[in-house]
A and B are shown apart, each in its own frame.
Chain A
Amino acid sequence: MGQILYAAATIVVGVFLCVAYFWGSNALLDRALPMKGPKAAANVRKANAIRPWLFLGPSMIVLGLYLVYPVFNSLWLSLHGSGGRDFVGLDNYVWLFGDAKFLESVRNNLLWLVFVPAMATFFGLVAAALTDRIRWGNLAKSLIFMPMAISFVGAAVIWKFVYDYRGADQEQIGLLNAIVVGLGGDPVAWITVPFWNNFFLMIILVWIQTGFAMVILSAALRGIPEETIEAAILDGASPLQIFWRIKIPQIWGTIAVVWTTITILVLKIFDIVFAMTNGQWGSQVLANMMYDWSFRAGDFGRGSAIAVILMLAVTPIMVWNIRNARKEGN
């Protein structure tokens, strides 16, 4: 009970403080540089120069502190030893590129990078195209979109249950093994099969992200001008031809946006691997390896070096994103 009051009180106080800051600072500015009187024009100019920074101030402070500073801190740490005191130059990076587990993580991250965005976008596209054609499409969309609301940890429980394994002499309670046994096969401990277990983990993320892709792509498909499609129908094109030859090229830009959004998420993938395999049986990924070295081995130098590599990997996507934003801005 006390905790609820505490939370409620902070919300009220926090919101009040935020509002007070914005309202107060603006009022102060208006008072200091009044829009009336002899210097009105100059005052307006000055006020217009200052006001954006009043609006942006809190965001910039928080962003600088919570995202920009850590980036530089990691760069600095990655050049230091495990305790963060002695300078070791590029040793951590040299070690990294000779480490088998790191190379495995890079390979796995690449696998994730190819498989997850491709499959999620593909299923999203198929689902979008199909559900738009039927009356109960909205219900179907809701159900396919639903995994988006489920946490990675919740998803891990759900899928551990699907992949559950018991010896061949016992009754299987995992769905996948029950199907395999039902078809006359032998049960398999899915998440421990090296290499292929990566795909069993990726399926979870595809399952989560397909709904996102579907919703965006469905809106884009609806945005295609009717005339284009009608013209194609008159030309005698089959529905499949229309879809692949006419519709897809039209929404190519949106597909790229969906693809990159999922790609960014995939690069940072941590929770699913952490909860399902913890990187064992050859399923390590960069973010989990970084967590391992920083927090399990207590070596912040190496952990940060992995983080820096991860950031470098994200950079091309970041640049592409910024370019796009610039284009939009104009």
Chain B
Amino acid sequence: MEGHAGQKAALTWAVHIAVVVLVVLWTVPTFGLLVSSFRDKDQLAATGWWTSLAASEQTIAARTDSPEAQAREGNLWVIRGNVFERGEGRVASWGTSSRAPAAFGPGETADLGDGETLAVEEDGSYLLSASAEMTGSRGQRIYVQSLVPPRFTTDNYATVVGAEGIGRAFLNTFTVTIPATVIPILVAAFAAYALAWMQFPGRALLIACVVGLLVVPLQLSLIPLLRFHNAIGLGKGYFGIWLAHTGFGLPLAIYLLRNYMVGLPKDIIEGARVDGATDFQIFRKIVLPLSFPALASFAIFQFLWTWNDLLVAKVFLGTSDSQLVMTGRIVELLGSRGGNWEILTAAAFLSIAVPLVVFFAMQKYLVRGLLAGSVK
């Protein structure tokens, strides 16, 4: 008996641990992105995000003032200054050659040859002295290693929102998604009702067609449709992309909504019919309110899909600042700022923030709608 209980407890522990492992595996990539987007850009480029709480060693390339700043002191020519621009930091080691950037410790003096010497103190102040007058237009290079405490900042977001035009793209995305979510729901709800509760020849065939259209790859519609839009004078713009998203979203909308509506209690609808209500009245007063969970579920789906879409936006919208959407902007950033992770991480997190909020707020409905469509 005891052994059995022990076994059961062990099993429960195993389940807990397994779920923890799964959850960690599934969230770590996103978490890494979030942490990185708040890190200082130099640190982000130098060390992994998992070390972000530890102090990191950084090497900076500083330069003494140019020979114009030299002053005569006794029989020496000297230049004084500080390697830290803001005057803060502590030198761990330094050097003058890129191959040995940590050759000297703070307080040591390096012989640069030709009678020149350089000394760098721990607080960053340096003294360059020469026995003859120094020439040239630039100062001596100094490489400095300093220990930098972990720095977190919202600068990355500020940069992205302001200069990189993500703020505008954010607005554009909303302009695309909201009508592209509302219009198909309206159109699809009527069709779904007709397919669920009205009798007419060819109904089964139409349902089959809708299901069939679910799997048509939308890439092949791009050129014919853009041509069509241009032919009727719509061109590239918000109106066109709303229509396009409506078209691409309709099969799923009709399919989900019909499945849900079919499951509504038959006697209520039949009863209303007997009482002399027209189909329009039944739809408006009974079916629509009862179908709210399915409508909400599709709305979330369509919102996520239009928000996250790249291809349709690339084709049906222009790429000017007033039309470029978030995903498009991020892809451009991926291309033009391939290695600037501070820009990429902040931009990517901004783009997934809204869907995540919508998702967590409305998760209940999403699941209900999904179930209506799939579990039968």
Contacts and interface: CB of A to CB of B under 8 A. Distances in A.
Q: Do chains A and B touch in the complex (CB under 8 A)?
A: yes
A153 B208 CA distance: 32
A222 to B, nearest CB: 10
A159 B217 CA distance: 25
A70 B32 contact: no
A67 B212 CA distance: 10
Contacts of B145: none
Interface stretch (B103-111, B115-123, B130-138, B186-194): B186-194
Interface string B341-376: 100110110011001101110010001001100111
B30 A147 contact: yes
A291 interface: yes
A270 B33 contact: no
A66 B45 contact: no
Interface of B: 11-12, 15-16, 18-19, 22-23, 26-30, 32-33, 36, 44-50, 171-172, 174-175, 178-179, 182-183, 186-188, 190-191, 193-195, 198-200, 203-204, 206-221, 223-225, 228, 238-239, 242-244, 246-248, 250-251, 254, 259, 276, 278-280, 283, 304, 307-311, 322, 327, 330-331, 334, 341, 344-345, 347-348, 351-352, 355-356, 358-360, 363, 367, 370-371, 374-376
A63 B213 contact: yes
Contacts, number: 320
Contact of A56 (B190, B228, B355): B190
Most chain B CB within 10 A, of A4, A6, A73, is at A73
Nearest to A69: B224
A268 B248 CA distance: 13
Given A271-B310, A321-B211, 10 more contacts: A7-B238, A15-B182, A134-B19, A151-B309, A151-B352, A159-B29, A268-B218, A275-B331, A307-B217, A318-B215
Contact of B280 (A26, A68, A253): A26
Contact of B179 (A14, A154, A220): A14
| Nearest 6 pairs of A and B residues by beta carbon | A66-B247, A151-B308, A70-B221, A59-B191, A149-B359, A55-B194
Contact of A144 (B23, B191, B352): B23
Most chain B CB within 10 A, of A53, A133, A150, is at A150
A207 B26 contact: yes
Contacts of B183: 14-15, 18
A274 B223 CA distance: 18
A229 interface: no
A15 B181 CA distance: 11
Interface string A124-167: 00110011011001001011111111111110111111100000
A153 B330 contact: yes
Interface in A170-220: 171-175, 178, 207, 210-212, 215-216, 219-220
A58 B185 CA distance: 12
A172 B48 contact: yes
Contacts of A160: 334
Given A154-B348, A220-B375, A314 B217 contact: yes
